Chains A and B, each alone.
Chain A
């Protein structure tokens, strides 16, 4: 049995499953943590660890292959919990609900760890699904990978000093960044450039924020890593100003080119070591290459959208992932 942890409407998961079916796999379970009704049934510690999906029991001991694609906590018996009154005291009730949700969280973590270890083949990692950007940059440097000068700053004074020392900086979220919308508008936080001229709009003290020296970039590289193989893509966006800092800002008239790329062997070796140190066998890594052909590592995303590499480069990564899971 192949167990896949994902969320509903994740197109990449659907594509991989289409390949699994084409390659003859009949026994697989997709668990979409955001919508599915999952119940905990029982764990005897020996040979039976049963959860049920829409009423159908699944014995996790039978998992031969596990893919943690994405998705968070599966809530057990959410509906049943609502019916139970834990305490008349509203404050106690709140605290008890907190306790139960951390019990639920721990059980969830364990289930994912259990399947990941139990399955001879395991791809992706729940406990590593959100990495700390700053920590990863430190590690990368330890492996001899170049990174842009990185600072966390919370005063205008310090920011202005760094601008003088380094020239233009960029800033981005330390964690995930903003992606919110209401009925009329959508808001996303992008990587933004910061210049001396921006200082007038910045208060003297602000929330500690991540800044990096802006690399004089020739192009950007996105790399998808799948068990010892790299599939790289170059993003050519330097011709238009709008996308110079962040390629996700799209220019409809002159869209960026997303082309197959061959990462130099030396960069691949170091990057492989970094993935290993992070205990990840898959993920996406971003680089910028400057005018002197130096490769600057930016970040790793453990649940990278590999379809955005797969389609433009004609790599068929969805099929490669399916083949990996069958192996």
Chain B
């Protein structure tokens, strides 16, 4: 095995490869190559030592029997291209741990079941708050495709840049109707159809017939049909490795600084009640009586925005906390607002994933979640 024992250089860990220490295991997240690797936490202290000592110095300070392990660790970091040897660490500052955005509200969830909201008014208000993303979740087929199209039109020429649309399948609409809905609205960023007779994917291409592969890829959009019904807001809040966000500097910085789900979010539930998220029990009044701006200005509304993973029990010692999503509506101990998300089956103390529903009957019953 090669050794780096004579290396007078420093080992630079690239600024976009960020380690996170967990109870048993730690992770290193490569934001450029969008990968996440796990390693034993006993190696984590080296990331601090790399900033002060040359590789040679590190070897000299280590017990002889640790040399092989350390060499292996360097091999791992080099093989994954997480860093390189440099003479001058000063030239390579870390990414500043900072997240800011100009908008007051970044995203909104609007739920629809049996009540037709005043969408014109809602989108106007969201616009004045600078809202960029909207998720529209329809549990029932309250609107026809034509009516949905009219609703989307109301969001045009506003701060809103994209709408994620979740609708219920209805037999009176053809595949072409769904494709047309997508093609007619650049605002729709994704379209999910639940309660469908079969799982399938339709392609919307906005009428592009050319051969340019890059353009094709950019234009290509999929409409996903799922047989599973989405009957209400209680489907939300699942924590799973496949939802980890490991692709982008800003979302990483956001995740470690604020509540990854609720920061700068506002919601209107199926009854028209204004909430942090539709699944929350607490509301801040009805959209019929109060303007969103007043709700956003209230300290009590923004309190959850600042609850990051460092404040949440269990998550604070989890190696996935920098890339994990969060949920404050469904939590393990409904009485303890800082307890970990209910729908997470991970235990950072032994590094295992198990079925989250096991042993959680109390909380499941409390929220009335049907599994």
Contacts and interface: CB of A to CB of B under 8 A. Distances in A.
- A and B part of one assembly: yes
A264 B212 CA distance: 43
Contacts of B33: 254-255
A184 B102 contact: no
Given A254-B33, A314-B98, A319-B102, A260 B212 contact: no
Nearest to A20: B102
Contacts of A22: 102-104, 130
Contacts of B368: none
Nearest to B210: A183
Given A257-B16, A260-B92, A19 B102 contact: yes
The listed residue with most A CB atoms (<10 A of its CB), out of B32, B210, B249, is B32
Given A257-B14, A262-B92, A314-B253, 7 more contacts: A18-B102, A18-B130, A22-B130, A185-B211, A261-B92, A315-B96, A316-B98
Interface residues of A, number: 31
B141 interface: no
B212 A312 contact: no
A259 B92 contact: yes
Nearest to B91: A262
Closest 3 CB pairs of A and B: A22-B102, A184-B211, A183-B210
Contacts of B103: 18, 22
Interface string B1-41: 00000000000001110000000000000001100000000
Q: Which residue among B93, B98, B130 has the maximum number of chain A CB atoms within 10 Å of its CB?
A: B93
**Dominant SS among interface residues on chain B:** loop
A167 to B, nearest CB: 25
A236 B13 CA distance: 13
Q: What bracket does the count of chain B residues touching chain A fall in? A: 20 to 34
Nearest to A264: B91
Contacts of B250: 311, 314
A255 B248 CA distance: 13
Given A183-B212, A255-B33, A234 B92 contact: yes
18 contacts: A15-B102, A18-B102, A181-B212, A183-B212, A184-B212, A185-B212, A255-B33, A257-B16, A257-B32, A259-B14, A259-B92, A260-B92, A260-B94, A261-B93, A262-B90, A262-B93, A264-B91, A313-B249
A28 to B, nearest CB: 14
B182 to A, nearest CB: 22
Contacts of A269: none
A260 B15 CA distance: 7
Nearest to B84: A236
A314 B81 contact: no
A291 to B, nearest CB: 12
